[in-house]
Amino acid sequence: MARLVVVSNRVGVPDRSTRAGGLEVAIGPTLRRRGGLWFGWSGRVADGDPDPTKIADHDNVTYATIDLRKDDHQEFYNGFANRVLWPILHYRLDLAEFTRRDLGGYFRVNEFFARHLEKLLKPDDTIWVHDYHLIPLAKALRERGHANKIGFFIHIPFPPPEIVTALPNHDQLIPALCHYDLVGFQTEVDATNFSRYIANECGLSWAAGNAFHYGNRVVTIGTFPVGVETEAFSRLARRAIETTFVRDVLDSLSGRAMIIGVDRLDYSKGIPERMSAFERFLANFPDWRGKVTYLQITPRSRTDIAEYADIGRLVGEAVGRINGTYGEASWTPLRYINKAHSRTALAGLYRAARAGLVTPLRDGMNLVAKEFVAAQNPDDPGVLILSRFAGAAHECAAALLVNPYDPEGVAIAINRALAMPLEERRQRHAATYKVLVANDLSHWAERFMAALERPPNAANDWTQVRAAGIG
């Protein structure tokens, strides 16, 4: 079996206290199982020229990380990746702040990654590149003569071409995805949007199938909804609810029902909108006042970026307003915490909650939703309230699906979740849990790797048409 080389901006080096977020949750166990190399940014910004790649071996995995220079970090990470691509791919054209300088920094860092990665590459390695930071990486590697199998998976949404084409210079960037052998998306909608982009903007026409020719290669487009370690997380939650930490939290609630939300502080997560919905719930369903506590855990994220400071202020104001209006000396309706919590602590809190509020305005998948379901006690499960705009909504169709832009509708769903009869809760939970076991994390990784490593075959249902002009 070929060695697997994973490349992502964040790398989940095991002894590091900071976590890489959803991406680490997905990649870490996959790589540990199969073994291989994980290459990416060290998380450090160097004052002068960066040190050479640092190599560390743990268990089955070699972690190779590299520092970024200050201007590279600014233009690549804070600039193009997170002030342009992130908002646009989350359908937020209004928040994109494009500069050609940042775009230049983005391409420069992808070249820099290719230059340092190639020193570690063997010709028969299979390379799996992750996420929007590294769209042009395969092209940079191909230009250096690497003919390896290279797959790409984007963890965040891919909007319709009508939105993507508002990105200045999209024609320099998006067609670079044609240098991968496999381009994977979270949902059918994302994959279809990309296919439409390829057809509309690159002059390719699609007769049928999910692949096209690019030069002398076949590029396949696939849908691979990322999963969680459903059964292992369920076992973790069963143990975690007994920990002193979770018991203390439960004691502090004095028998009140708990609603939980866990998100990075990010405008895509719809946290202020969710708080307005909770406020509406307290206003419209006064019987619940004093009987329910909403715990929102929100570690800060991308703090150098102005829009993230803005969303932090908005959330803080909403918390103050709600607690000021509805709180009592003996009851705080909304507990808002920026501290990051361990997986064990979160697993226990999910299991202890009567409802999980996961209401992003747009999300590639949302693994909190899946972990919340995995963590429940099947005999007495809490209810997932989930945005229809999260990728997870497709597999979690038995959750209470809501429109996060409709606070009144979300308030009604909160009331419904808290009042839901046991039998309905059990049925909804069992239906979702079954789906999440069938498509768990290992299934996701195996399906992607199998599609990537499958030899291109003439019987493939692909069609190409005109490669000229791509990339």
Would you please indicate which residues are annotated as catalytic (active-site) residues?
155, 363
Shortest reach from residue 35's CB to ligand F6P, in Å:
22
Positions touching ligand F6P (CB under 6 A) are 9-10, 20-23, 131, 155-156, 301-302
First to last CA, the chain: 31
Residues 6+ apart with CB under 8 A from 238: 351, 377
Beta carbon nearer to ligand F6P, 20 or 84: 20
| Cα distance between residue 414 and residue 274, in whole Å | 11
Contact 437, 230 (CB under 8 A): yes
Report H helices in 124-259.
Answer: 137-143, 161-164, 170-173, 188-201, 230-240, 244-252
Angle between helices 441-453 and 22-34 (to 10 degrees): 70
Residue among 266 and 279 whose Cβ is closer to ligand F6P:
266
Strand partners, 4: 126
Min dist CB 449 to ligand F6P, Å, is 19
Position with the least CB separation from ligand F6P: 21
Cβ proximity to ligand F6P: between 84 and 277 the closer is 84
The distance of closest approach from Cβ of residue 368 to ligand F6P in the complex, given in angstroms and rounded to an integer, is 12
Give the nearer residue to ligand F6P in terms of CB position, either 110 or 301.
301
Q: Which is nearer to ligand F6P, 41 or 462 (CB)?
A: 41
Q: How far is the CB of 366 from ligand F6P (least distance, A)?
A: 10
How near is the Cβ of 398 to ligand F6P at its closest, in Å?
25
The token pair at 351 is: 């299991």
Q: Where are the beta strands (DSSP E) in 73-131?
A: 126-130
| Cβ proximity of 354 and 259 under 8 Å | yes
Side-chain-facing half-sphere of 237: CA atoms under 13 Å: 24
Check: CB of residue 401 under 8 Å from CB of residue 388: yes
CA-closest candidate to residue 346, choices 293, 393, 297: 297
